[in-house]
Structure 1
Amino acid sequence: MPGPTVSPAELIVVTAPTGPAITPIALRENRSVRARVDELLPATARLVPIFGPDNRLAARLADTPQAPVAGAYLSYYSVRGETGDLDELADRLRADDTVAGAYVKPAAEPPLAPLAENTVAADAPPVTPDFRSRQGYLEPAPHGIDAVWAHGQPGGRGTGVRVIDVEGAWRFTHEDLRQNQGGVIGGASSTDLGWRNHGTAVAGEISGDANEFGITGIVPDAHIRAISIFGIGSAAAIRSAADALDPGDVVLIELHRPGPRFDYRARPDQRGYIAVEWWPDDFAAIRYATGRGIVVVEAAGNGGENLDDAVYSARPEDFPAQWRNPFDGADSGAVLVGAGAPPPGLHGRDHGPARSRLAFSNHGARLDAQGWGREVTTTGYGDLQGGADEDLWYTDEFSGTSSASPIVVGAVAAYQGIRANGAGRVGPAQIRALLRATGSAQTAAPGRAVTERIGALPDLRAMFARG
């Protein structure tokens, strides 16, 4: 089955900062700068503020750690409507004193394992079997995250926790995604089957319905919604997700894009692809979300990259001068997830020692936790159960940091659901510290040492015992 089509490239403009605080003077200066940049754009193009109307921004960040620096968010814009040479336009914009940075982001892709193949099986049976026994990631540690234990605790099925998945498309009419979902609330869903299968698989892992058939989500009582990057861009999608959630809820970023290793070129093998927070506007959007108390879980990407490499600290000339490497020093606050191997022999396949880094997974000190990057049974794709009706499709082969990240989201949502029945939910920093302090440890594989960090596989019982 062919992979998803790519999203459009995005031209981002960062204007000269007007100061850390949002004051009447800063608002006037920002509007003057925006008017100047508008004059530089072709007639078909327009500037769209990534963080929404400037007169609403201060209120949305009031009483958060980001309030003192809220003015920084006034500077971020995407350029819409321009179909010409975006690189040439970015060069012209940077020549103006009002522009601190202008860059074209490569198209984002879903971080499905490189060259993954899913073949739709024959017609579905009259009644979908129960595939729960194939979902080993629900089982106790060290092979799973012990969702079976969490399901027996008050709130442990994700009760009251809301999740928004940021990517491209979904099929919320699937027979196992009928409960506790609010559909697509932003962006324009891609019509591409690859994106739709991907989003459907992610949603099933997290909150597939608890019933007698198909799969069971890690947190079937959590409420899941989705925002597409198509039509609005990744940073605006992340910001919109944060605005729709409360502290302790979860945003999942199921994207990666080509990085500087191979000059930002798209490749079928995804070599050099990295987490989206490396780009300034995505980093700012994630900081905005975590500053509002939202837990952001982000795929680390499938580029096979050491994110500690010095190449990621070299500032591109089209980025603002204040940019710092998010993989080394600048902190978005997100939980960054790598892909580890499932237990050998699962589904008759062997990907190396359980919890060892899969070769395609990015790694480095910045990574916080891992999930299964192969053999994930969930909704979509149709290789486990197929036929003509997508609403009946299931897979045994969901993969990549794509499949790993929802496992961590499920652990976070289960933990927050349990905490809500006791001491109360915790914030992003506490969640990240817990994931780093607990869990089933990463193991080594031939040629892939534990020093190539992807972190531990979450262990819900250990998380709750610790805090």
Structure 2
Amino acid sequence: MAKTTKPFPGEPPTAGGPEGPQRTQVVVIVRPGFSPEQGATLLANAPAAESVSFRPLFNDTPARLSTLETSAEPAPDLSVYYVTEVPAEQADPLIQSLLQREEVEGAYVQPQATLPFIETAVRSAAPDPSVPVTPSFVDRQGYLEASPQGVDAVFAWTYPGGRGANVQVIDIEGGWNFTHEDLAQNSGGLLSGVQRADWQNHGTAVLGVIGGDTNTIGVTGISPDANLRAISVYRDAAMTYNLPQVIQLAADSLRPGDIILIEQQYSHPTLGLTTVEWWPADFDAIRYAVSRGVIVVEAAGNGNNNLDAAGYNTALTGFPATWRNPFNRANRDSGAVVVGAGNPPPGTHGRNAETGSGEVYTDRARCNFSNFGSMIDVQGWGWEVTTTGYGDLQGGPENEHYTDTFNGTSSASPIVVGTLACLQGILRAYGRIPLTPARAREVLRTTGSAQQAATGRPLTQRIGNRPNLRQLIPLVLQTNTWSGVQFTGSLGANATGRWYTFNWPAHWHVVWTAVPTTPVPGAPQLKIKTQVERASDGFITYWLNVTNLSNRPLNFEGRFTVLGW
């Protein structure tokens, strides 16, 4: 496949800002053990070596990144990633030079993101001088209502914690208005990075969907009690772009069970707009976050593309030999929840037709722009989303802007984030273990209001179901208790043996005992020590060390009790 070494058309340059000198980032993947000090040697004979920077892609010491212990499946080795910045025309020669070096496993151009929403004509909405304060627009937020129309956030709010209390969310993109009148109660502001003014409305709209304030004006978010913060993909005044590092920074700022939202999409050089995890560094950054127990919600992208297409099996030049297509989760799995965009009910806001096609909305059918495929887990509204920002529903001062036309997988993804924040808030309020990334994906895929077909968009073009909190809440709160015998064993006199049992769901609480089957009164017969392996985000392996304390052989049962799930 032809290699691409310049920013894709319509994307911002890597460095220098929208009007500055265009420089391209090249991601370099080195063999383990490589140190930053070796960078000068690596680039000694590279084209334009005198103008090439070389630094770790991720924000920590290589030693810590490669040895960090995690709470779930082993984290990837982020210490092998470095980045250089060169003039765009010198990227190809640099990549070719680097790929000749024994220390280099891969080198490719870091793509630049676009926002996953659809540009539409914005209606002018001058302020009404007869209205002294912003009215309530909650009746226009159909996505809050009961299924199948919405996710039934109103039902979640009847539970303790159901508004997302004690849940942290970090939105990853490039701009927000944190002084908006309806984002005052639980906004933690910008955690890191530099804002881009032309992305501000988008981020403001995303935050309003998740956490618009509970009050009598404007909108109410799905999880208005969640703490919302943001990290910008632009790292400095030169607008240096680094999504992988930002994902890592967000993960390090959150607890297990908290949520990251990735509001970005990349452009594949031949297949169009697509999901960011297809690129190696972005995939490993997401997997790093998931390995820490943080739920990552990722927009599927607005390319109208089949993510199961064979073209995605072909690596770009410079990808490492170990790369496999992550859109096929049998190859490898980032652990993210991937969100497609579905149509709202027809007649929402008095409008019936999809922009660009004129086709009447079929509720929960795939939007005409949404990517689709077997990896997509769940859908949210892709049109007609009422939220903060833009000013087409209410104009006037910027802090009083509202829209009812937010769209794309951009609007779908925060709907899913808000749903998950409601669930995590309820679980924490009940003293329960929050959903792991794997469990979050599982419950979203197995519940909800079913996807529907539309003309030219059959159910085989999967975007998943629309979440339904009335189904999800009892599912995640359910408890069950039972006991059983998992295995039997024999031990000689004073001997110790080890047994293991695997694929136990990580959200189950399991207690193990070893019980002799032959009565011998007078002294203890067996001792058991349980060791636990987090084999993956979703499954536990138990290692059971059993010691015969007696001076005669004995048989025993390995018994389990599930205390809750």
Q: Is the Cα contact below 8 Å between 2:366 and 2:463 reproduced in 1?
A: yes
Shift in alpha-carbon separation, 1:81–1:16, aligned structure 2, 3 A: closer
Q: CA offsets per residue over residues 162-186 of structure 1, 9 Å max, x none? A: 0000011000010001111111111
Match of 2:194 in 1: 188
Q: CA offsets per residue over residues 252-299 of structure 1, 9 Å max, x none? A: 00010111335xxxxxxxxx2001111111001000000100000000
Match of 1:342 in 2: 344
How far apart are residue 91 of structure 1 and its match?
2.8
Match of 1:126 in 2: 132
Equivalent residue in structure 2 for 1:107, among 107, 112, 127: 112
Residue segments in structure 1 that go unaligned for 5+ positions in a row: 19-25, 263-271
How far apart are residue 187 of structure 1 and its match?
1.6
Of the structure 1 ranges 165-174 and 31-40, higher mean CA displacement relative to structure 2 is found in 31-40
d(CA) in 2 for partners of 1:354, 1:303: 20
How far apart are residue 44 of structure 1 and its match?
3.6
Equivalent residue in structure 2 for 1:234, among 215, 237, 243: 243
Match of 2:335 in 1: 333
| Larger Rg over CA atoms | 2
Helix, strand or coil at the partner of 1:14: strand
Q: CA offsets per residue over residues 203-225 of structure 1, 9 Å max, x none? A: 00000111000000111100011
Helix, strand or coil at the partner of 2:380: strand
Within the alignment, does 1:412 sit opposite 2:417 as a pair?
no
Match of 1:15 in 2: 29
Matches within 5 A, 1:174-213: 174-192=180-198, 195-213=199-217
Within the alignment, does 1:48 sit opposite 2:55 as a pair?
yes
Match of 1:224 in 2: 228
Within the alignment, does 1:365 sit opposite 2:387 as a pair?
no
How far apart are residue 424 of structure 1 and its match?
2.1
Helix, strand or coil at the partner of 1:13: strand
Matches within 5 A, 1:20-419: 26=33, 29-31=34-36, 33-39=38-44, 40=46, 42-51=49-58, 52-57=60-65, 61-67=68-74, 70=76, 72-80=77-85, 85-113=90-118, 115-124=119-128, 125-192=131-198, 195-231=199-235, 232-262=241-271, 272-328=272-328, 329-350=331-352, 351=354, 352-387=361-396, 389-419=397-427
Q: Is the Cα contact below 8 Å between 2:182 and 2:388 reproduced in 1?
A: yes
Helix, strand or coil at the partner of 1:184: strand
Q: Is the Cα contact below 8 Å between 1:260 and 1:312 reproduced in 2?
A: no
Of the structure 1 ranges 119-128 and 102-111, higher mean CA displacement relative to structure 2 is found in 119-128
Q: CA offsets per residue over residues 184-211 of structure 1, 9 Å max, x none? A: 111211122xx10000000000001110
CA RMSD of aligned residues (A): 1.9
Q: TM-score with structure 1 length normalisation?
A: 0.90
Counterpart AA for 1:16: V
Match of 1:22 in 2: none
Shift in alpha-carbon separation, 1:462–1:382, aligned structure 2, 3 A: same
Helix, strand or coil at the partner of 2:270: helix
Q: CA offsets per residue over residues 284-339 of structure 1, 9 Å max, x none? A: 10000001000000000000000000000111122111111110122110000000
Q: Is the Cα contact below 8 Å between 1:14 and 1:102 reproduced in 2?
A: yes
Counterpart AA for 2:286: I
d(CA) in 2 for partners of 1:357, 1:203: 24
Counterpart AA for 2:315: R
d(CA) in 1 for partners of 2:385, 2:459: 23
d(CA) in 1 for partners of 2:438, 2:39: 34
How far apart are residue 353 of structure 1 and its match?
1.1
d(CA) in 2 for partners of 1:88, 1:396: 48
d(CA) in 1 for partners of 2:427, 2:287: 24
After TM superposition, the runs of 4+ consecutive aligned structure 1 residues lying more than 6 A away are none
Residue segments in structure 2 that go unaligned for 5+ positions in a row: 1-9, 15-23, 236-240, 355-360, 477-565
How far apart are residue 401 of structure 1 and its match?
0.2
How far apart are residue 35 of structure 1 and its match?
4.4
Match of 1:421 in 2: 429
Q: TM-score with structure 2 length normalisation?
A: 0.75
Higher RCO (Cα < 8 Å, 6 or more apart): 1
Q: CA offsets per residue over residues 224-261 of structure 1, 9 Å max, x none? A: 11111113511111111111111000000001011133
Shift in alpha-carbon separation, 1:248–1:390, aligned structure 2, 3 A: same
Q: Is the Cα contact below 8 Å between 1:183 and 1:225 reproduced in 2?
A: yes
Shift in alpha-carbon separation, 1:101–1:434, aligned structure 2, 3 A: same
Helix, strand or coil at the partner of 2:27: strand
> Which structure has greater strand proportion?
2
Counterpart AA for 1:342: P
Of the structure 1 ranges 241-250 and 9-18, higher mean CA displacement relative to structure 2 is found in 9-18
Q: Is the Cα contact below 8 Å between 1:168 and 1:189 reproduced in 2?
A: yes
